[in-house]
Amino acid sequence: MKRFTLAIIIIPLLFIFTYSCSDDESEPVRVYGEDTFVYDVEYSENTKIFADEIKESLIKVDTTTYTEYDPSTETDINVHHYTFTFDDLSVLDSLGEGSILVIYGDYMTKVKSVVQQGNDVIVVTEPATLKEVIKNGTIEWDMTPGIELVQKIQMGDDEVKGNGILNDEFEYKFEWLDRKYTIWMNPHGVSPNGLPQLQVNFTCQKTDKDNGRVTATLGAKGTTTFPRQHTKMEFSDNEMTTLQTNNNNLRSELTLEYVAEMSFGGTQVITLPKVALKIPVQSLTSIPIPVPMYITVGVAFQSTINMPVVSSFAHAKVKLILDSDTGFDYVGPTIEASAKVNDYDLGEAAWAIGATQLAPTPLEVRYDVSCPRIGIEIAGSELAWLSGVFSSRAKLIVPSLCKAALYQVRIDGGYSLKVMGYSIADKSGNITEVSRTEKSPECP
């Protein structure tokens, strides 16, 4: 059996801090221990790992996307299958139908066929699961992913590559449908709890396709931190026996603002394709790890404004804070979620709805910003994710002119164990929330 073992204490780090929500010296103190990483695995007999020597002979990769029905969610999903072309005939001696092919840090696939075409070898594959690759072993880390370790930035289907991509201020602009997006991030030292901190500013403008006039603008500005993460996976006889992931101090302080002006009735919807900073797990140790595994730190937002009257205007602005410890624990056929809110603040809000004509239909503005959204990705599939979500709802009910607003911070999460070999376990939703509602005197 092939076994690779790595168990190290990387850097002794001690973080001692008090919560920033109070100057009270009696606030609890949190202590982080040493950064650790364990990679002690026994691969399955039919697992073939191609390192740099063979990777150099990989001259082409073709991707075919299939739509498959997922019985766990009763929905169709996109699944990527890869076809590899090697210019090294020795690949014929290494691979056969049913082999599990792991290309160091890039792909984890199952071989469907291997054929020779002249001096090349064509290998057709389909997705593989981690329990097919690993027979026995433990993969575990307890550390804070550093901003300097970001290797890729994924924005929808667009990907920006390059190490050190966030060493300095970073700005990315793109257009999607009738919307213009600007993503700005800047490393900003450490937060009061000693964790890496980013200044962030996300804006989106929606335009009228006929005259190019901006009809709605959504923005989120503030700071977010990279949390302390502990993840553990254990395998025995090609079965997963343990999956735990916890993020300590998942924190953001964001000011959300929405402005919309319409000369017609209807609904404006603004969404941001998922943005994720991708950190390869192997970079946490500076030692190559064959299985392509990433920690992702991302953001997403969506807003909707319903204006059923002519010449409508709406504006909403609020500052929200959320700091939490969140995680998942595999306890059998399902996963249990946990969440602890360390600090939150539903700040003072300002919102207005004006220039409206009386109508029996409510006028409503709502938006949600997920930041940060922390995930674990294996071989291109997201295993689990957790996010602090910032929300605001503002509604004008006519003809009573009742104005009501809801401000909320919540923790959402989800998981899909397909990449681990368990297609029945797939779930997402709300874990916990804190909210405040305000109403004008006209409201019942």
Residues 92-125: tens digit of each pLDDT: 988 999 999 999 888 999 999 999 999 999 999 9
Q: What pLDDT is attached to residue 414?
A: 86
**Residue 352, amino acid:** A
Query: Which of these, 363, 344, 336, lies nearest to 434 by C-alpha position?
Result: 344
pLDDT in tens, 246-280: 999 989 999 988 887 765 556 767 777 777 888 88
pLDDT number for residue 300: 81
> What is d(CA 293, CA 289) in angstroms, rounded to the nearest whole number?
8
- Record the tokens describing residue 51, joined without a space: 């390192």
Distance CA 163, CA 148 (A): 8
Q: What's the rounded Cα separation, in Å, for the pair 188 and 205? A: 26
Contact assessment for residue 356 and residue 363, using Cβ atoms and an 8 Å cutoff: yes
Q: What is the pLDDT of residue 16?
A: 25
- pLDDT the model gives residue 324: 92
pLDDT score, position 5: 47
User: How do the domains of the chain map onto residue ranges?
Assistant: 145-439
Write down the pLDDT at residue 305.
Answer: 72
Tell me which residues of the chain have a pLDDT lower than 70: 1-33, 68-78, 156-158, 160-167, 262-266, 268, 286, 307-312, 333, 353-362, 398-400, 423-426
**Count of CB atoms situated within 10 Å of the CB of 74:** 7
Q: Which long-range contacts (CB under 8 A, 24 or more apart) does 92-100 make?
A: 92/116, 92/121, 94/48, 94/50, 94/54, 95/48, 95/123, 98/46, 99/46, 99/47, 99/48, 100/44, 100/46, 100/47, 100/48, 100/128, 100/132, 100/133
Per-residue model confidence (pLDDT) at position 113: 94
In order, the DSSP letters of 200-218 are EEEEEEEE-TTT--EEEEE
What is the model's pLDDT at position 12? 29
Give the start-end residues of each E strand in 2-54: 2-9, 15-18, 29-32, 36-43, 47-50
- pTM score of the predicted model: 0.81
Instruction: Give the start-end residues of each E strand in 355-380.
Output: 363-378
Q: What is the pLDDT of residue 19?
A: 24
